[in-house]
Amino acid sequence: MRMLRGKLEAPYDDLNIGGWQVDYACACEEKVFDADNVFKVDFARSPLRFDKHIKAYRQMKKILAENDYEAIHTHTPVGSVVTRMAAKNLRKKGVKVIYTAHGFHFFNGAPKKNWLLFYRAEKMMSKHTDLLITINHEDYEIAKKNFSCPVKQINGVGIDLTRFNNKTTAAKNEKTRKSLGLSKDDFVVTYPAEFTANKNHEYLIKCVAPLIEKYPHLHFLFLGYGTLQEKLEKLVAELGLEKNIHFPGYVNNVDEILRASDMNISISIREGLGLGALEGVLCGCQTLVSNNRGHRDIVGKDKKCLFDLNSPEDLQRKLENAITGKDKYYIKFDEKFSLRQSLTDMRKIYQEVLG
């Protein structure tokens, strides 16, 4: 939005397009920045909330009818279906509709119900889309082969490398650890992720319980918040792991905590790409990630950093190798995941589609 409005600041200001008014429609669950106007629309995440979808459709029809838009760019799965339906007739008048899929709910290994519902919906709606943008290779191949609109791939929304330019020291890392109740001799694994079923914290807790018993200096930091936090804290207490699994909550110094950690982990079931894992890579952490399409794009040739969710023993073995120093799990960062590259790719797309 900043790029279209000409508001990008250094060091990205050379990528500004400018001259566009950018309005934003959402459920307003969080504060929206960088838009000229914000419209509250009753979008629902669940595909089964037909009452909300009908209401949101009417709201979007009204917004689109009252404003002379030249382009519409949608992002979330259900909201994008509603919006593209509302914009269907506008495309006949030359309005361009772009949809960025941040990870399809159907993928290799996904439940059949996901393919029956989400795949069919996305295929049908591709007829009402001028350009579909995917953020991982598997989604790109599925869409390119099966959908009715042009498809391009970018490599996520981009990591701002300027956030990770700060060098760290052993003394600073020790201070960060001390603030979290940890010592320099602890082996610290950090997982920055909201507490949802997809992020799979429960699997990780149960998987590492025997390792913590064997290695009492093994500690896990679950950074973030979410609806499942209370349930997860209860499970940790039931297993007697409160001294080793910690819930610092929402923090604004994730980079400092990652630099002070020995390892970063991502255990999600489904991932469009996986920014949390990339941030750990940039902070110099060893990194282990579950074997899904987004993580496969991140690891590239460093495939030993993947673990199989169908085999708890695979993760346990790799964690033990890292703890004992038997093996190291480092991923080489690819510049294609940088914010500059993502902005460059999006600038080119906007110029091609919007003129």
Tokens 């790409």 correspond to what residue? 273
- Per-residue confidence (pLDDT) for residue 187, from 0 to 100: 98
pLDDT tens for the chain, residues 1 to 355: 999 999 999 999 999 999 999 999 999 988 899 999 999 999 998 898 999 999 999 999 999 999 999 999 999 999 999 999 999 999 999 999 999 999 999 988 888 999 999 999 999 999 999 999 999 999 999 999 999 999 999 999 999 998 887 788 999 999 999 999 999 999 999 999 999 999 999 999 999 999 999 999 999 999 999 999 999 999 999 999 999 999 999 999 999 999 999 999 999 999 999 988 999 999 999 999 999 999 999 999 999 999 999 999 999 999 999 999 999 999 999 999 999 999 999 999 999 999 7
What's the CATH number of domain 2-158+338-354, 3.90.580.10, 3.40.50.2000, 3.40.640.10, 3.40.50.2300?
3.40.50.2000
pLDDT at 264: 97
CATH number attached to the domain at 161-334: 3.40.50.2000
Question: What local confidence, expressed as pLDDT, does residue 163 receive?
Answer: 83
Supply the pLDDT for residue 51: 94
pLDDT tens, position by position, 261-271: 999 999 999 99
Taking the chain, what is the end-to-end CA distance rounded to the nearest angstrom?
Answer: 16
Contact assessment for residue 210 and residue 239, using Cβ atoms and an 8 Å cutoff: no
Angle at CA of residue 57, ends 1 and 100, nearest 5°:
35
Q: Beta strand 218-223 with 187-192: parallel, antiparallel or unpaired? A: parallel
pLDDT for res 226: 93
Amino acid at 266: S
Q: What local confidence, expressed as pLDDT, does residue 54 receive?
A: 97
Rounded Cα distance between 342 and 328, Å, is: 29
The string of pLDDT tens digits covering residues 290-339 is: 999 999 999 999 999 999 999 999 999 999 999 999 999 999 999 999 99
3-state secondary structure of 15: helix
How many whole angstroms separate alpha carbon 274 and alpha carbon 267?
10
Joined together, the tokens standing for residue 236 give: 């940790």
Query: 2-158+338-354 and 161-334 share one CATH topology?
Result: yes
Q: What is the pLDDT of residue 29?
A: 87
- Alpha carbons 335 and 338: distance in angstroms, whole number: 5
pTM: 0.90
Domain extents in the chain = 2-158+338-354, 161-334
pLDDT at 165: 72
Quote the pLDDT of residue 145: 97
Q: What tokens appear for 159 in the block?
A: 């990591």
Task: Output the six-digit token pair for 321.
Answer: 């190798």
